[in-house]
């Protein structure tokens, strides 16, 4: 009996290459997804820190208005100079630059003369257009 040689070789090679390409693409996608998740989480934390830095600016300006003895004797308004840059803040907020503006508007409440204070505090970290750029702005108003 004569055997005829089979020429059916190499069928497994294209399948193996296809599987390797698919697995490499899935691995690359998983690495990309993990990186995006980590960057998003870090920016979320930085956003919370920016909020706290802006809030510190509001509290600083409110303290200056409530306690006018903290202002120079030559000041005619209890509003701190606008804009005022607060930097550096302590520890985890040291990366933020906080700019505080304050405007005072005279008003009347019945027969009483009062002043309305509008305070805006903006905390910024990083350069605009960069991945690590974060900023938050808070506004507060009160009368005295």
Q: Is 16 domain-assigned?
A: yes
Range of the domain at 119: 12-143
| Structural domain total, the chain | 1
Q: What is the pLDDT of residue 54?
A: 93
Q: What is the pLDDT of residue 43?
A: 86
Q: Is 38 domain-assigned?
A: yes
Q: Which residues of 91-124 are buried (b: 16+ CB within 10 A; e: fewer)?
A: eebebbebbbbbebeeeeeeeeeeeebebbbbbb
Q: What is the pLDDT of residue 72?
A: 55
Query: Cα–Cα distance between 141 and 103 in angstroms, integer?
Result: 9
Q: Is 2 domain-assigned?
A: no
Q: Is 69 domain-assigned?
A: yes
Give pLDDT tens digits for 16-53.
899 999 999 999 999 999 998 888 888 899 999 999 99
Q: What is the pLDDT of residue 139?
A: 96
Number of Cβ within 10 Å of residue 64's Cβ equals 22
Q: Is 96 domain-assigned?
A: yes
Q: Is 3 domain-assigned?
A: no
The ranges of the chain with pLDDT < 50 are none
Q: Is 104 domain-assigned?
A: yes
Q: What is the pLDDT of residue 128?
A: 87
Q: Is 6 domain-assigned?
A: no
């Amino acid at each position: 009996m004569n055997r005829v040689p089979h020429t059916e070789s190499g069928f497994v090679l294209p399948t193996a290459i296809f599987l390797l390409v698919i697995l490499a693409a899935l691995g690359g996608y998983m690495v990309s997804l993990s990186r995006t998740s980590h960057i998003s989480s870090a920016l979320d934390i930085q956003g919370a820190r920016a909020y706290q830095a802006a809030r510190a600016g509001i509290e600083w300006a409110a303290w200056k208005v409530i306690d006018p003895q903290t202002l120079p004797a030559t000041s005619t308004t209890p509003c701190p100079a606008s804009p005022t840059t607060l930097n550096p803040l302590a520890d985890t907020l040291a990366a933020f630059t906080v700019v505080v503006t304050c405007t005072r508007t005279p008003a009347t409440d019945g027969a009483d003369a009062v002043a309305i204070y509008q305070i805006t505090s903006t905390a910024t970290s990083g350069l605009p257009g960069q991945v690590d750029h974060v900023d938050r702005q808070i506004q507060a108003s009160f009368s005295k």
